[in-house]
Structure 1
Amino acid sequence: MKFLWFMLFSTIEGFAIYALSFYIFRLDMRRYLPHVVLMLLLVSFQNYVARDILALSAAAPIINLVLSTFFFVTIIRIPLVWSMVMVLTGYIGFAVLQTSLVFLSLGFISLDELQVYSWKAYILQALTGITGWLIGWILYKKRLGFTFDFEDLRFKWEKVLIPTLIAVILVGLAGMLYYRDLVVNLIGMFLTLIIFLVYSIKKETDELERR
């Protein structure tokens, strides 16, 4: 039974990540919904195996990022670098949202309690999934976010800069997870999200100037 609850709420939580990844970059997630559901089930199962069976909790987020990046490359047909940018934007946006929900709960949900009370973790996952999808959908309907031809937008230096930036961000996120300081985590994730959004704005501006 524990496995079924884990799969259900992890999948719901995952919708926030993918909704933000799709909708911030003006892609309609509904077109790929069956693929997204299957991918989220795969990611949830991978999380369960890594954390509950192999005791490799620290490795689970990295594996999720890799799997999701390959999903965007192979199924959605987005270039590798942009797939990494989209996936990381979704994960960071999700992290900001979930951390904000913990912060706004005013002590009802704490990081330590999530390890003890499964039902509180499930509530947080459900709230995050629903809120993340709703925010992404509103952005898409209001035509906010970024829309451009991924193939035509390649800076000469981005093949070196973006993987380096992603590596630094992953190390930073791992450090924040290790120290588990809520305020520091929230500030760090906001700064990281701003970096990716500024980069995306620069890309969109560059495309508009070419037209």
Structure 2
Amino acid sequence: MNAIWFMVFSTFETLAIYSLIMTLLRYKTTAYIWQALVVMILANIQSFIMRNELHMDFLAPLLTVLIFVFLFAAIIKIPVIWSAICTIIGYMLYALIQTVYLTTIFGSIDSIQNVPSHGYILQILSAGTGLLLSWIMYKLGIGFRYDLEKLRFRFEHILLIALIVVVLVLIAILFYLNRLWLDLLFFGITFGIFLYYAIHTEERDTFDRGKISGPDGGRDQAPGSRP
């Protein structure tokens, strides 16, 4: 029975993360939903095995992030670098939401670990907030509209790939240490760094298109954007 509840609430959580990432990419949540559900179920199965069978809880979030990167790169055909960037931004935003709820309502991680119902409540609150936030963002047109296919500045992207690898390793380390204040600090800083980079890239792409097209010759949307 625990396995069933785990799958139900974890699927609700991963759906919220998926929705946030899709909104950042300017896709509707319902786009690719069936393919995403299959991937999410597989991700939750591996998470259950890692947590309950292998007792390697700290690796489960890392594998979930990598599975989402695979989903967006292989199925939705987003370039791997931008799949990783948007996945990290979406995941960190969700983790930040959940950590805030955990801090303000439950006070500690022990409360969640010792009382299973608290964990389910936390998942519902976090996932519900994530889904609502993604819906608001999509309605307001918040997301990245630049051409995702353009990969410029080779050395910049080498550094970016190195940063992504470091972030993934740190995710595993932080969950292993299980310190709430470190999680909050890390999720906030990482979310800010990658969001700043993505916004800066969008502004740079818009400026470059403006120089090429002139003040009136540009399109309303970049080639990689969605309505």
TM-score (norm 1): 0.92
Deviation (angstroms), 1:165: 0.6
- Summarize the alignment of residues 168-183 of structure 1 with structure 2, pairs less than 5 Å apart: 168-183=166-181
For the residue of structure 1 that corresponds to 2:32, the secondary structure is helix
Corresponding residue of 1:81: 81
Per-residue deviation at 1:142?
0.3
Between stretches 123-132 and 163-172, larger displacement belongs to 163-172
Superposed CA offset, 1:74-115 (max 9, x none): 11100111111111111111110100111221xx35301211
Q: Give 1:187's aligned residue.
A: 185
User: Which residue of 2 is the match for residue 135 of structure 1?
Assistant: 133
- Does 2:206 correspond to 1:203? no
Q: Indicate whether 1:11 and 2:30 are aligned.
A: no
8 Å contact 2:24–2:143 — kept in the other structure? yes
Give the match for residue 30 of structure 1: 30
C-alpha RMSD over aligned residues? 1.5
1:54 match: 54
Alignment: residue pair count: 209
Q: Cα distance, 1:138 vs. partner?
A: 0.5
The structure whose Rg is larger is 2
Q: Which runs of 4+ in 1 moved over 4 A?
A: none
CA distance in structure 2 between the aligned counterparts of 1:45 and 1:19, rounded to whole angstroms: 20
Q: Is the 8 A contact 1:153 1:203 kept in 2?
A: no
CA distance in 1, matches of 2:23, 2:104: 24
Query: Which blocks of at least 5 consecutive residues in structure 1 are unaligned?
Result: none
Counterpart contact for 1:12–1:126, Cα < 8 Å = yes
Structure 2: tracts of 5 or more residues without a match = 210-227
Distance in 1 separating the partners of 2:208 and 2:56: 47
